[in-house]
Structure 1
Amino acid sequence: MPRVAVFSLGGTIASTSTPDERGAAGGVTPRLGAGQLVEAVPQLRDVAELETVSFRQIPSGDLTLRDLVDLAAEITRRFDRGVSGVVVTQGTDTIEETSFALDLLVRGPRPVVVTGAMRNPTLPGSDGPANLLAAVQVAVAPAHAGSGAIVVMNDEIHAARFVRKTHTSSPAAFRSSTAGPWGWIVEGRPRFAFRLPALGTRFSSVCSDRIPAVALLTSTLGDDARLIAQVGKLGYGGLVLEAFGGGHVPAHVVPALQDLGERVPVVLASRTGGGETLQKTYGSPGAERDLLGRGLIAAGFLDGLKARILLSLALAAGADIPAVREAFRQVNMSAVDGSCT
């Protein structure tokens, strides 16, 4: 049987309630490790030989890029020892960021599948066991070799580069609005709708102690430039700006963006969460042609959260502004090629 390593990081899928001092039920907290999660799903024995690693036991909002660099290194060591695939369980709040970080950090063709739960184990209809089983089934499927990190939730398969959490509590919270789900699972069989090229950029030399802070701001109606001006003063290594629509900002904000972009990378994403930033349609001051002509970097199909992950890791790997620009270009070349499997 194929060997799969299951790493647990905490989150809802691993959370149980803890009585307070008077014996009343308190809120749920991450308490279950990888071994306990696997033991709760006996059907896993028919899918793969499993190794379990309780890597972290925290809410996903407490995870950092440093944690993910360390996790990626441990995943790579497991691959070097011969495991066929890796499954990571964690809280759903940051899956869209952590899965994309692992996509950029883990080398090699073998799959990294990230999953979690929207309903904790104390609730009727907890979805954690089904999601874990589906994730392992995807991890041993050969059809997606070399395509990068995957998110499996609610019997849907999503590419890490596209997926977003779109609801606070629904089991169907995860969507890939730009490309749609990559596939689905039926009767325990993963099915893939199209072939997904590997990312054009990966980082194998990132030091977890040298990851600079990157700011993320969102353009709003009537916004001014005061926060943009503070980014450089506060020592951020770069900025991702979620702009209006296809990549537009108020005209009066442009000088501050240009001034900052001459010193640190400034990446232009869209606040819509779907589609790509435009490059040559609108020409008014503050539109995408104007901003890109002043040195800003197009995020392409990456939303603001994922653009921030890519910019952070590129800077941690020592990239200057031209190298950051090239990293975003390479990632955006790894869109869908349209061929079915």
Structure 2
Amino acid sequence: MTVAFSRAATETREVAGEEPGARRRRRGGRADLRRQRVAAWAAVAVIGCFGLLPVYWFVVTAITPDGAVFRFPPRLFPTSVTFSHFTSLGHNAQLLRYLLNSAIVSLSTAVLSVIVAAYMAYAFSKFRFRGRSTLMYTILASQMFPQALLLVTLYALFNAYHLLNTYFALILSFSTFTLPLCVWMLKGFFDGIPDSLIESARIDGASRWRTLHSVVLPLTRPGLIAAGLFAFVRGWNDFIFALTLSGPRTQTLPPGLVNTYIGEFQTSWADLMAASLAVSVPVVVAFAFLQRYLVAGLTSGAVKG
């Protein structure tokens, strides 16, 4: 019994001697984890301020009276608020025309890009033909060139065929820039569809056309939505092509807002901010509802393409 008691006492002293060191290590680990969390949240706060501060100032300018817009020093929190800049938008018939033009051009660009890209991506994914890889990478390489370099060529081409100042010129020019990414995005979705499923449809008597439209396309609906959203936003936000290739009748919102509120001697900043904020709402709402499809499409195209 004496020997057992001595052994227990020895083990107790050893454990007691080890506890402070282990406790210090645990405390150090928790402290390091706490510092990492604080650093991560601090980085998120800095990045969030960097990204959201311009948006906040955008909103503040839109609700600030005209006489207080150029006040110096500027105030982070406005002392007086007005919504007259928003209410006046409904009475601007020209602005509503720009909004309609943007909707027509953007939706048409999205539909055309998705239709053409779906057939191209399916051919690249499920067919093997000579020059396939070269053509695929050539399409992707077209994204490496600045789009403004093609503006002079497109202007001369549309002018020769009397297509300037038409919706068709804008839709066609926007589609040429959205197609490469849409093709690669959809190809990633088509690569994920097993060939055995397509072979089963062929065995059941379905033609290639019926297999594509009744079997494959319904399974790639997220990719089609992602490609359509990308093309829509591209057509909605373009400025330089819409300014150069369109006229007063077909001009879209980005150049229309500039021509309406920015003049040679005076700029209506509050009205411009209010109009820009109002016309951004449709895109923000659409992106909020469909962003998961866009992320899935970009991820699929990046991993499987």
TM bucket, shorter chain: under 0.3
Q: Which has the higher helix share?
A: 2
Between Structure 1 and Structure 2, which shows a larger proportion of strand residues?
A: 1
TM-score by structure 2 length? 0.23
Larger radius of gyration: 2
- RCO (CA 8 Å, sep 6+): is it higher in 1 or 2? 2
**TM-score, structure 1 length as denominator?**
0.21
